[in-house]
């Protein structure tokens, strides 16, 4: 079988930073090309500056490095997207089309496209939101992810391109900082706790959202991409869940280990976004089709986060 050679877009972001390392461990550092709009600095493997909106530059890198898989992470997230909706739509959609068309034209075998719980809106079931649910998102980010999922499905059905996708919940990790999302508070809160500072949360105390610890998110991504093609029955995007909690609950989890930690609440425009999202997700399709099972609950994540950040 041909050696897998991987190109990642948006590799300098919250998930890309960690996923790049994991892919390099799995496939060899020299076989993973990390790209981003900005210079990624010295790394264990090759890097390149790439604007995912530039199809010629993308095709040149794919041909030069004989790329067989593209992980397309570059995107504008929910909170940043609401500040400039048309700009966010343009980046999220045009970059996806560049990746899909380049993959089709060059013979790339597999594409990974992360979607999000942002595809759901308030018409969807709030708890244990099913895999196949009404999708009426209220953010431009969510609209772009619904469209992206459908295009992933289209390229698979029409052209046979092996595109795979997960609807990540909010991802929490110690290795990198998040970039403009509504779930970012659940990363920031740990940094305040280890610094001994009071955290002001931009969501209300009782706003429950689905979340996933970074090691679980990375493992899910690799497991999905390595699963036999015939097991991947959902070609739009799989629901994926780890845990669900409110700001008050994550604060209480931290206080078990940092008793002096304090939180206060000042909800802003991100509250409306969170209110339109599910509180918990039914990921039974992922469990059945390719064996998904999360390892971390809230307290296990808190212990690991605090240990690493300290
Ligand atoms: P991030 O904002 O941390 O990183 C995105 C990266 O994309 C940045 O490094 C940025 O420089 C780069 N980028 C932006 N525009 C670009 C362009 N035109 N060309 C090339 N690079 C560009 O995002 P993340 O949290 O790492 O998310 C990665 C992917 O996962 C996104 O598609 C996001 O929608 C999805 N996702 C993330 C979460 C989460 O909680 N982090 C949840 C659901 C889905
Ligand atoms: C965001 O909050 O925008 C992301 C996501 C859940 O897609 N973290």
Give DSSP secondary structure letters for 226-277: HS-GGG---SS-EE---EEE-HHHHHHHHHTT-TT--EEE---THHHHHHTS
Question: How does pLDDT run across 69-98, given as a tens digit for each residue?
Answer: 999 999 999 999 999 999 999 999 999 999
Is 60 exceeded by the pLDDT of residue 34? Answer: yes
* Mean pLDDT in residue range 115-123: 98
Q: Are 34 and 11 in contact (CB under 8 A)?
A: yes
Share the mean pLDDT of the chain.
98
- pLDDT at site 179: 85
* Smallest CA separation from ligand 1 atom 9, residue: 13
Cα(124)–Cα(132) distance, rounded to whole angstroms? 10
294 alpha carbon – ligand 2 mean position (Å):
19
pLDDT score of 59 more than 70: yes
Spatial distance between the Cα atoms of 215 and 211, rounded to a whole number of angstroms: 12
- CATH number for 171-211+243-309: choose from 3.20.20.150, 3.30.420.10, 3.90.25.10, 3.40.50.740: 3.90.25.10
Averaged pLDDT, 231-252: 98
Mutate to test the pocket of ligand 1, among 20, 70, 75 (most ligand atoms within 8 A of CB): 75
The single residue of 113, 141, 174, 238 carrying the catalytic annotation is 141
Output the CA 36–ligand 1 centroid distance in Å: 10
**pLDDT cut 70: percent of the chain above it:** 99
- CB-defined site of ligand 1, < 6 Å: 9-10, 12-16, 36-38, 50-53, 73-75, 77, 91, 95, 114, 116, 168, 170-171, 178-181, 183
| 206 has pLDDT over 90 | yes
pLDDT of residue 1: 55
**pTM of this structure:** 0.98
17 pLDDT above the threshold of 60: yes
Provide mean pLDDT across the span 204-225. 98
Distance 9 CA to ligand 2 centre (A): 17
Q: Cα of 28 to ligand 2 centre, how many Å?
A: 30
Is residue 148's pLDDT more than 80? Answer: yes
Q: pLDDT > 90: what percent of the chain?
A: 98
What pLDDT is recorded for position 32? 98
pLDDT at residue 92, as a whole number: 98
Give residue 278's pLDDT: 98
Supply the pLDDT for residue 4: 95
Ligand 2 atom 7: residue of nearest CA: 116
Q: Is the pLDDT of residue 191 over 80?
A: yes
Distances in Å between the Cα of 214 and the Cα atoms of 126, 177, 218, 287 are: 24, 12, 6, 18
Q: Is the pLDDT of residue 2 over 80?
A: no
Distance 16 CA to ligand 1 centre (A): 7
**Range(s) for CATH 3.40.50.720 in the chain?**
6-170+213-239
Residues of the chain with CATH 3.90.25.10: 171-211+243-309
Q: Residue 131 in contact with residue 238, Cβ under 8 Å?
A: yes
Q: Can 141 be counted among the known catalytic residues?
A: yes
Name the 3-class secondary structure at 6. strand
- Tokens 């343009």 sit on residue: 90
Phi, psi of 164 (to 5 degrees): -125, 150
Average pLDDT over residues 181-192: 98
Q: Which residues lie with the beta carbon below 6 Å from any ligand 2 atom? A: 77-78, 116-118, 141, 170, 181-183
Taking the domain 6-170+213-239, which CATH number applies? 3.40.50.720
Which residue puts its alpha carbon closest to atom 12 of ligand 1?
10
């Amino acid at each position: 079988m041909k050696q897998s050679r991987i190109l990642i877009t948006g590799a300098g972001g919250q998930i890309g930073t960690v996923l790049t390392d994991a892919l390099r461990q799995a496939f060899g550092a020299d076989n993973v090309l990390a790209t981003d709009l900005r210079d990624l600095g010295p790394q264990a493997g090759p890097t390149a500056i790439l604007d995912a909106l530039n199809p010629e530059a993308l095709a040149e890198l794919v041909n030069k490095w004989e790329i067989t898989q593209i992980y397309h992470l570059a995107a504008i997230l929910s909170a940043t997207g609401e500040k400039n909706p048309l700009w966010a739509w343009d980046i999220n959609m045009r970059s996806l089309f560049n990746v899909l068309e380049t993959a089709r034209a060059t013979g790339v075998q597999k594409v990974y496209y992360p979607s999000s719980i942002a595809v759901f809106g308030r018409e969807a079931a709030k708890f244990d939101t099913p895999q196949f649910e009404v999708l009426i998102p209220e953010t431009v980010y969510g609209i772009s992810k619904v469209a992206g999922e459908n295009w992933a499905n289209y390229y698979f059905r029409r052209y046979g391109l092996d595109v795979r996708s997960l609807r990540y919940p909010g991802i929490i990790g110690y290795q990198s900082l998040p970039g403009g999302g509504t779930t970012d508070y659940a990363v920031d809160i740990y940094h305040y706790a280890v610094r001994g500072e009071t955290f002001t949360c931009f969501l209300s105390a009782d706003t429950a959202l689905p979340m996933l610890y970074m090691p679980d998110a990375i493992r899910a991504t690799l497991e999905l991409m390595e699963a036999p093609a015939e097991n991947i029955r959902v070609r739009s995007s799989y629901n994926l869940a780890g845990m669900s909690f409110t700001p008050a609950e994550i604060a209480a989890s931290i206080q078990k280990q940092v008793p002096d930690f304090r939180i206060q609440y000042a909800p802003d425009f991100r509250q409306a976004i969170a209110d339109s999202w599910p509180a918990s997700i039914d990921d039974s399709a992922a469990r059945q089709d390719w064996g998904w099972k999360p390892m971390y609950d809230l307290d296990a994540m808190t212990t690991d986060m605090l240990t690493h950040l300290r």
